[in-house]
Structure 1
Amino acid sequence: MKEMKPIPYRHRPKGLTILYEDRDIIVIDKSAGLLTVKATYEREKTAHHILTNYIRKGSLKSKKQLFVVHRLDRDTSGVLVFAKSAEAKENLKLQWKGVKKKYVAVVHGILTEKSGTLISHLAENENYEVFSVKDSRKGELAKTRYKVLKEAKRFSLLEIELLTGKKNQIRVHFSEKGHPLVGDDKYGKKDEPKSRLALHSHYLTFRHPYSGKELTFEAEVPGFFKSFFDNT
């Protein structure tokens, strides 16, 4: 793979950590609270905008583009990859179903089954809320594999593998199972003290779009997740 020249310090991005970069891709550790791409209510405080400025090195004349491969919810932290060319994006999109995506989450309660796979068909209503439907024709198939890593009195730490990548999939599946994610203000407990969402994109494994080499990237689990289990 081709080596990169270091970017001048003044142009390095703020609010995220670059885990890896070459001529074809940028892999970052996104902080919770940062959008992946622009929304109607926010155009500039996004990972895409920050990284586009970064690769252009502050030049207004630069035509360099950054391409979105996948997204993380605003309140989800962790590994996120962008492509630097349309060709790299297409290569990654084509292999995306086979990409290994592992998350870590803290959920309310103690799960009876310590591992398993949650399967349902997900649909979305006019309020942008996602939910499971019994009629498979009215939703998209969603599969979430999990195992319990640690337990406290009222919380469980889970490792989750996304077998499909539908909107809000992890949050909906565990909410409907009766174990909503900590800090989920959309699908979680209504009387819960406000905190960040306890969902983190921990590992991502895919083949490099240019070399074909298998790459695995890891974003360290924030201390917030571990704080629930310090005394166990």
Structure 2
Amino acid sequence: MLPAAAGYDRAITVFSPDGRLYQVEYAIETVRRGTLAIGIKSKDGVVLAAEERAKKLQVHTMTQKIFQVDEHIGVAAAGYIPDARIQVDHARVMAQSNRLVYDEAADVETIAKNIADLAQQFTQYAGVRPYGVSLIIGGVDRNGGSIFVTDPSGTYLAYNAIAIGAGSDQVNDLLEKVYREDMSLDDACVLAIQAIYHVSEDKSGTKHIKMAVIDNKSRKMRRLTEEEVAKYAEIARSRGPVTQ
């Protein structure tokens, strides 16, 4: 760290002379070191995928990085996952409150903005730290399928396809070149697995891959079974590595 920046990383409410909040930047770096999470929007719905590296004796059927907020909204997280649980619980309360007050399902953007507002609050008060997690919030509402990403700074942005976590720069470069807005939900699932294989050490197995889909017709989130993930992985392997 430069001498001029020394000390400015110890208090979250103090800007450095060059206009930076170091604690927020450290939280964003935590996200970059987390395992990969991917969100892809297709013409038929939304796909959420995550790489989870389970220990040898860990029960690998339990998903730690993909959450359900409401029946039509799911979340994939990268970074410090305990922080993700808190944000997801907050989003669930928001979603159910929306149903009670307005008698309708909350829009995906409403949930994304609410989580981003929560994250932003933890960048301006002394005695707290930023959330060390980013969320890919995907779902299907009255406006169709949509994907938003939040980060520790409180920013939220909409994407057609996005990756966060370790290796996300390579995966995002890949998605920019091969993603098509008219792809089917099945093709989006295959692309998500190809993207994980692109940066993962394990380029053949499927136990480290967790996936969920929300299709436009049912507007309900469904976690894919191991057999379904294996089927998409077989297609991904048959197509070979995605060329950039």
Shorter-chain TM-score: which interval? under 0.3
Q: TM-score, normalised by structure 1?
A: 0.26
More helix, by proportion? 2
More strand, by proportion? 1
Which structure is richer in relative contact order (CA contacts within 8 A, separation 6 or more)?
2
